[in-house]
Amino acid sequence: MLQIDQLSFWEKRSYFENIDFLIIGSGIVGMSTALFLRKKYENAKIVILERGYLPTGASSKNAGFTCFGSPTELFDDLKTINEKLVWETFSNRYYGLQSLFELVSQSSIEYSQCKSWDLIESGVTNEINAEFINYINAQSKKITGIDQIYSEDKHAANNFGLDNIQTSYCNQLEGALDTGKLVQELYKKVISNNIEVLFGIEALSMENSSTEIEVATKYGEVKASNCIIATNGFAKKWIDDDIKPARAQVIVTNEIKDLKVKGTFHFEKGYYYFRNVGNRILLGGGRNLSIEGETTEEFGTTQLIQNKLEQMLQTIILPNQDFTIDYSWSGIMGVGETKSPIVKLLNKNTAIGVKMGGMGVALGSQVGKTLAGYF
């Protein structure tokens, strides 16, 4: 590959000179930031650097859940986190989805408000009671204006052909979308708004002066007036903060004849999650089996977790049914001790928005809007 200093006058002028905003990372956060910047600055030169030939971390690898708060997650969080902060997180996720729908149409990304079910397995102590459901309904109504979001559904297991489930709790507002189409639609919108995306260029380091940012790549330096870092789980080299990578493994089955599962589901405090994609089952999770091993920036799958996911299919999701695994992959999330993303100015011309905590679909566009608002 040519070095930047070997490029033509035309190439340098079109792609690398007089950059007003340089964004590192072309995932949901990066592309959303670019689009919100374009709304503010009609004539600004905006360039996105992406190290892979596709968005590398989690944006095009996630399960496509539009979730913002399950009863078991809320119950657990309220044990250890300030109540106000728990509901702020809920609100940020809920309204983050609305920010996403400002950028892309629901139909273009095959969004479906298909509901979600929080499953309680047989033999597990169920700490959720009617009083708690009433409480979270009252709190969530204050935020959304919608009544009775949550309800117990004792018939879900039978209706969806599940086994070893004692009861479930339905969230009527959650749903699913097509992750691939989401990234495609954001990319189309970025290109149509005269924003350049340069794939295959990894930002290695950064030097900052009062007037200019210099980002080092293996092809040479890229200079810009302002820089936004949107690398989520790969952010540790940019900031010494509460963030670390977290690998998530996912599998998809073959097409299942007469599949009963319709909607999105999670159990074991959200460590496992599944949905139908047409007549296939997508199942992810198992990071809790090896937290240390899955705290990595390396992509890949492990026999331990893949075996557990297949076991879940056999014992809970597709009992007494034959299936094969057609796809398996991993994505890298950004997580930390707290659930709040890191969104801040590092100096007057550099900002960062990372640590989506596995909630990039819900949070990413709102984080992008906040980042654009810094400039």
Domain shared by 50 and 167, yes or no: no
pLDDT of 290: 96
Whether 260 is covered by a domain: the verdict is: yes
Instruction: Tell me if 235 is assigned to some domain.
Output: yes
255 and 138, same domain (yes or no):
yes
Phi-psi category of residue 69: left, alpha or beta, with phi > 0 → left and psi -120 to 50 → alpha: left
Measure the CA–CA gap between 58 and 102, rounded to whole angstroms. 21
Helix, strand, coil share of the chain (percent; to 5): 35, 25, 40
Q: Is residue 95 part of a domain?
A: no
Does 91 fall in a domain? no
Q: Is 102 domain-assigned?
A: no
Q: Which domain holds residue 261?
A: 115-172+243-335
pLDDT attached to residue 211: 87
Q: What is the pLDDT of residues 274-303, one digit of tens each?
A: 999 999 999 999 999 999 999 999 999 999
State pLDDT tens for residues 190-243: 999 999 999 999 999 999 987 899 999 999 999 999 999 999 999 999 999 999
Same domain, residue pair 295 and 320: yes
- Do 161 and 264 fall into the same domain? yes
- Both 357 and 322 in one domain: the answer is no
Q: What is the biggest distance separating any 2 CA atoms in the chain, rounded to whole angstroms?
A: 69
Same-domain status, 125 and 194:
no
Based on the fold, state whether residues 363 and 235 are members of the same structural domain. Answer: yes
pLDDT at residue 38 in the model: 99
β-sheet bridge partners, residue 227: 22, 350
Indicate the SS3 state at residue 284.
strand
Residue 345 maps to which CATH number?
3.50.50.60
Same domain, 149 and 185: no
Within a domain: residue 362? Answer: yes
Query: Do both 153 and 263 map to the same domain?
Result: yes
Do 286 and 185 belong to one domain? no
| Closest CA relative to residue 264, chosen from 170, 200, 350, 138 | 170
The reply to whether 238 and 307 lie within a common domain is no
Residue 217 CA: distances (Å) to CA of 49, 202, 220:
10, 6, 5
Q: What is the pLDDT of residue 191?
A: 98
- Euclidean distance between CA atoms 88 and 367, whole angstroms: 14
Inside any domain, residue 90: no
18: alpha, beta or left? (left if phi > 0; alpha if psi -120 to 50): left
pTM, whole model, 2 decimals? 0.95
Measured between alpha carbons, how far is 269 from 38 in angstroms, rounded to an integer? 39
Mark the ranges of the chain whose per-residue pLDDT is less than 50: none
pLDDT of residue 253: 99
Judgement on whether residues 252 and 327 belong to the same structural domain of the protein: yes
Give me the CATH number covering residue 328: 3.30.9.10
Determine, yes or no, domain membership for 85.
no
How many structural domains is the chain composed of? 2
